[in-house]
Amino acid sequence: MKAPRAISPTLPSEEDQIVKRNMRRALEEDRALMMTGQPFTAMLAMQLNLIPVVDSRLPTAGTDGKAIFFNAQFMAERSPADRRFILAHEVWHCALGHFRRQLGRDANLWNQACDYEVNQLLSVELGYCPRDALWDRRFQELSAEETYARLLNGTVQAKKGQQVLDIHDLEKSLNRLDNGLIIDPDFVPEAPATSQEEQSLSEAWRQRLITVAQQRDRMPGSLPGHLRRIVDQIRSPNIPWQQLLNRFLQKQQGGDRHWLPPSRRHVYQGLYLPSRRSSFLEITVALDNSGSCIGDIPQFLGELKAILGGFNRVSLRLMVFDTKIHSDQMLSEQDLHRLSELEIEGGGGTDFMPVFEACETTPPQALIVLTDGFARAPEHAPGYPVLWVLAEDGECPVSWGEKISPNS
């Protein structure tokens, strides 16, 4: 039996270099043209280097948050409208922070979820989406985390003929090769090597989005509503649960949350940042649905989504209460999509005592109370950590525990 023939890497040919130069000009023209129809996205695109390559490891396109790498031959086969869509697609992967939101989620499903989120946004902005791109009306207005939960539990699958626009599977590319591996020296993605670098990149993109929005506000015409909502959300984000609970619950987690070095293999697969070690978050949340909190329920549900979506694995006991506990159920990270369907009962007065009495039977590793704080509570702290998340103008009912406000 003959040994398999070794694949010898080669550099792009002169013909490949011509394709690259032509594609660079085309992409620069596309970006300039976007200033007319997509000025907000085009201004964000100015923050990224556009680098066409001919490299067997990059069959389509991808970004490391600093540059967008395009397979020049793949892009040459796309229509001008598709090219501009793919350019905008990669820009919004950066702007939406998909590189920091993956956590320990399955890479392939997370890439799909992110594509659904970006493509939905762009289809609203452009009124157009490539036929082979992932798009489904069932994911309208859903975050990547919510879409991921549906993909993970198998309730929704991609439509036939649709796929992610930026699959960068190095091993799969190697297996498909017949004439050798082409390595392009221009293909040098740089994933952040440390958590500090990741945080700096994430903050840089947050500031860019805000700055571009301010610049756009000074231009003729108003910012489209769907983009305004994104900017407003990034300007006033939910409580940063990853950072807060990392400190508050570090002793409660079954694994650490330190960063692992970035994987070269993952970079080529379109995973923009290093991954985290898996951590298991076990927590109890008490949601106050008394009459005085009715207007705060959307904020509370938003924070609940942030908890479920912000961690790789979650076991969450949710108690909805006013003067008594109306529901007591277990949720996991896969239940994120169910929150919008959650039946909230209550609307009466408020009493924290039933919550703490329920916790006496099965003491939680930690308790988060979403409330305005206007009710009686135990005089002394229980034997587990308690975090009071207060509504606007709320007051903490006790002197113990930690207190934060979504608006502080």
The order of strands in the sheet holding 367-371 is 325-332, 313-321, 280-288, 367-371, 386-390, 402-404
- Which position has the higher pLDDT, 299 or 147? 147
Closest CA to 233 of 202, 273, 206: 206
Specify the pLDDT at position 334. 79
Residue 405 near residue 387 (C-beta atoms within 8 A): no
How far is residue 135's CA from residue 118's CA, in Å, rounded to a whole number? 9
Specify the pLDDT at position 221. 65
How far is residue 367's CA from residue 382's CA, in Å, rounded to a whole number? 10
Confidence of residue 151 (pLDDT cuts 50, 70, 90): confident
Every domain of the chain and the residues it spans: 14-238, 279-404
Average pLDDT over every residue of 49-70: 92
Most confident region among 6-15, 34-43, 92-101, 133-142 by mean pLDDT: 34-43
How far is residue 316's CA from residue 281's CA, in Å, rounded to a whole number? 8
| Type of residue at 381 | A
Specify the pLDDT at position 407. 53
Confidence of residue 31 (pLDDT cuts 50, 70, 90): very high
Specify the pLDDT at position 33. 94
The per-residue pLDDT for range 120-129, each reduced to its tens digit, is 999 988 888 9
Percent over 70 (pLDDT), the chain: 77
How many C-beta neighbours within 10 Å does residue 342 have? 16
Fold that domain 279-404 belongs to in CATH: Rossmann fold (3.40.50)
The per-residue pLDDT for range 355-379, each reduced to its tens digit, is 999 999 888 888 989 888 888 899 9
pTM score: 0.64
The per-residue pLDDT for range 181-194, each reduced to its tens digit, is 888 999 988 877 67
Pairing of strands 67-71, 367-371: unpaired
Closest CA to 11 of 188, 186, 182: 182
Confidence of residue 290 (pLDDT cuts 50, 70, 90): confident
Q: How far is CA 393 from the centre of its chain?
A: 30
Q: Which residues contact 278 (CB under 8 A, 6 or more apart)?
A: 104, 255, 312, 313
Closest CA to 378 of 394, 392, 364, 358: 358
Please identify which residue in the block is written with the tokens 């070690």.
Answer: 277
Specify the pLDDT at position 145. 82
Distances (CA, A) of 396 to 197, 274, 376, 387: 36, 38, 10, 10
How many C-beta neighbours within 10 Å does residue 169 have? 17
Structural element, H or E, at residue 42:
helix 39-45
Most confident region among 12-26, 86-100, 315-329 by mean pLDDT: 12-26
How far is residue 66's CA from residue 51's CA, in Å, rounded to a whole number? 11
Average pLDDT over every residue of 104-129: 88
Percent over 90 (pLDDT), the chain: 27
The per-residue pLDDT for range 344-360, each reduced to its tens digit, is 665 678 899 999 999 99
